[in-house]
Structure 1
Amino acid sequence: MTDSASIVFVVDDDDSVCRALARLIRSAGYRVETFGTARAFLDRMPADACPACVVLDIQLPDLSGLELARELDAALPIIFITGHGDIAMGVGAMKAGATDFLPKPVSDTDLLRAIEQALARAVQTRAIRHELDSLRGRVERLTPREREVMALVVTGLLNKQVASELGTVEQTIKAHRRRVMAKMEATSLAQLIRIADKVGISGVA
């Protein structure tokens, strides 16, 4: 199943390959943009506005595909294509974060399958990133004392133990804890613990 909101970037210095791949990808219902060099792609690469992936030739005239992959630093799923591939190159591509490594001439079926999988990964990655952004926004609403309380509560300490750790009384900790639960939009301690784990809160804040 295709998603018209998704976009596929093709980076290949062979114009005929770019045109052929663009036709194929559009025929499958995806938007596509083509680039002849890695630098042209980096100059144009848009903000994270929609799920996207890159179909990338390893051998390019400026930066190589592997160098471009390192520049992207896993920002987008990459499908490497090459007419001169070997096992070592394939291993290097996978270490650079490729979702697939396909030899030229690329099979239409294999490429479209790889694109579908890469875009599915992009959707999942965006969802995780957006969730983390939302959770971090909630953490920002906490006061320094509330963060301390949250950090201790998620370790399993009772209210009176948290109060002892922070040099206050249990009733005060109960009030802080209620505010923490409300601001973090957590309905249970188990949910608060999962949130703390995702945002990296543990021990004494």
Structure 2
Amino acid sequence: MLQSTMPDVTSCLVLDVRLPGLSGLDYQTELARLNIHIPIIFITGHGDIPMTVRAMKGGAVDFLSKPFRDQELLDAVVAATERDRKRREAQRTVANLKSLFETLSPREQAVMKLVATGLMNKQVAAELGLAEITVKIYRGHVMKKMRARSLADLIRMSETLGISANHTEQTQV
């Protein structure tokens, strides 16, 4: 499974800690190494505290000891898939914002970064060596291209993208 492409659907893994060959914990470590993010629920009949701690520190959603009730597993799967759904939604949001940001000209990007830090148009103009009216025009273009309904919207988008006037690289969620 590690060599196959992960489908782009909300999902989770239910792993027994003791699998033939690669243990469930080793499988979790390998997924993390490959940058594959999928919620994992561990089940085991032979668990101990250090094993549980390792699994949870590795990002496991739950650790169920056998025997467990069917409802416990169902509840864990619901929680894990909901976590995965939210993560995927956040990734799509960031990807969409990045693509919108990339449509901005370098000057529009600079204006967005400065406006998002709370500078007034006059301050942005001074910072960039532009006329205030030019900054207003760029700001209007930024609002339109980013599909921001308000300045607060634009600031939230900037925060989501991890951009600011002093930080030109974008970060991922």
Q: Structure 1-normalised TM-score? A: 0.76
Q: Would you say 1:194 and 2:156 are equivalent positions?
A: yes
Q: Structure 2-normalised TM-score? A: 0.89
CA RMSD for the aligned pairs?
1.4
- Cα offsets for 1:43-72 (capped at 9, x unmatched): 335232x11000011122322212221222
Regions of 4+ moved over 3 Å: none
Q: Which fold has the larger relative contact order, with Cα–Cα distance below 8 Å and residues 6 or more apart in sequence?
A: 2
- Alignment match, 1:69: 28
More strand by share: 1
2: distance between equivalents of 1:59 and 1:144?
Answer: 53
Amino acid at match of 1:55: V
- Alignment match, 1:176: 138
2: distance between equivalents of 1:61 and 1:45?
Answer: 22
1: distance between equivalents of 2:155 and 2:30?
Answer: 35
1: distance between equivalents of 2:144 and 2:38?
Answer: 35
1: distance between equivalents of 2:96 and 2:60?
Answer: 28
Amino acid at match of 2:66: K
- Alignment match, 1:146: 108
- Cα offsets for 1:76-102 (capped at 9, x unmatched): 110001121011111111001000001
- Alignment match, 2:65: 103
2: distance between equivalents of 1:62 and 1:139?
Answer: 46
* Aligned residue-pair number: 164
2: distance between equivalents of 1:81 and 1:44?
Answer: 24
1: distance between equivalents of 2:144 and 2:101?
Answer: 11
Question: Structure 2 vs 1, CA of residues 45 and 111 (structure 1 numbering), >3 Å: closer, same or farther?
Answer: farther
Q: Which ranges in structure 2 are unaligned for 5 or more consecutive residues?
A: 169-173
- Cα offsets for 1:95-150 (capped at 9, x unmatched): 01000001123321111111111111111111111111111111111111111100
- Alignment match, 2:52: 90
1: distance between equivalents of 2:119 and 2:160?
Answer: 19
* SS in structure 1 of the partner of residue 160 of structure 2: helix
- Cα offsets for 1:154-194 (capped at 9, x unmatched): 11111111011011111111111011001110011111000
- Alignment match, 2:42: 80
- Alignment match, 2:99: 137
Amino acid at match of 2:164: S
2: distance between equivalents of 1:55 and 1:71?
Answer: 15
Amino acid at match of 1:192: L
* 1:52 corresponds to which of 7, 11, 19: 11
Amino acid at match of 2:28: A
2: distance between equivalents of 1:141 and 1:162?
Answer: 20
1: distance between equivalents of 2:5 and 2:140?
Answer: 44
Q: Which ranges in structure 1 are unaligned for 5 or more consecutive residues?
A: 1-40
Q: Would you say 1:43 and 2:6 are equivalent positions?
A: no
